[in-house]
Amino acid sequence: MPDDAGPRDYAASLGSPPPESCIGCNSPAFFTNQLLIAAQRPDATQVAGYRKWEEMGRQVMKGEKGIAILAPRKVRVTVTDAAGNPVRDEKGKPKKELKVVGFTTATVFDVSQTDGDPLPELKDDLTAEPPAGYIEDLEKAITGRGFTVSYEADLPGSARGYSSPEGKVVVRESLSPAMRAKVLAHELGHIAAGHLDELEEYHTGHGGQRGRMEVEAESIAYTLCRANGMSTEVGDISGTYVAGWATAAEPDAVKAAAQKVSKTVATLLGEGDWTNAESI
Ligand SMILES: [Zn+2]
């Protein structure tokens, strides 16, 4: 299960990473969208809404059909204190805030459906430091499942890490700490989702499930990293990775994959002692 960069043609992130303060961004909705996009437009590399493209100096071309994704539905609600009484601002008026109450559909367009200014540079490495203790927690979760963890210089091809059914997880030692955490979380995702028991299906040929497994592992990695306080930059990298592998996803597979990711992350967070994680 190599965690290499995936097909490099897709070296662009899908969508924009969720903002630091976003409620529900640790939910699998973010990745459900990656899958929804892949199902509707397998060659999509970078998507944004109509107005977002305009802000970036690009126009959606005439006759292009949008891609439907899930978007948070927000309502303005009165802020209350612990006793349930409304909190007031300096002027004595009840304070209001935006709250996510569910999801609605929104329309986005792929970059290939737009025309205009060149795109900004893309990221291909993580720089934000993982929170103290996170790498150790990941190592513990992996070794707790009977696998060894080692850091080595020589890995096949461009792989950043891999896990083998013989009970080994190997990570390239030259990686930055943040990328090291992401790769460990990705391999833990493969292990916890049971992919190593499905090795016969792990290929990209007819009926192959490699795309689904990579999407699931990376979705688990993203969710786990965010739950443990890693910066949203992890979303840029995961988006790139998922875009590279999700091309084979069928619409029917979208819901099942999101549910599997959600369940696996809940299991992982529920069983370990995660230094940095809050309940999600
Ligand atoms: Zn993988």
Q: What distance in angstroms lies between residue 95's CA and the mean position of ligand 1's atoms?
A: 46
Which of these, 38, 29, 19, lies nearest to 241 by C-alpha position? 38
Q: What distance in angstroms lies between residue 186's CA and the mean position of ligand 1's atoms?
A: 6
Q: What distance in angstroms lies between residue 72's CA and the mean position of ligand 1's atoms?
A: 29
* Each residue's pLDDT tens digit, 4-51: 433 222 222 233 333 333 333 344 455 667 677 777 777 777 777 888
Q: What distance in angstroms lies between residue 116's CA and the mean position of ligand 1's atoms?
A: 35
Instruction: Report domain extents, the chain.
Output: 1-13+121-280
Q: What distance in angstroms lies between residue 255's CA and the mean position of ligand 1's atoms?
A: 20
CA dist., res. 179 & res. 146, Å (int): 23
* Each residue's pLDDT tens digit, 127-181: 678 888 999 999 999 999 999 999 999 887 778 889 988 899 999 999 889 889 9
Q: What's the gap between Cα 278 and its chain centre? A: 18
Reported pTM: 0.58
CA dist., res. 212 & res. 220, Å (int): 12
* Each residue's pLDDT tens digit, 207-255: 777 777 887 888 888 888 878 888 766 666 565 555 555 544 555 566 6
Q: What distance in angstroms lies between residue 112's CA and the mean position of ligand 1's atoms?
A: 27
Token pair for 43: 């060659």
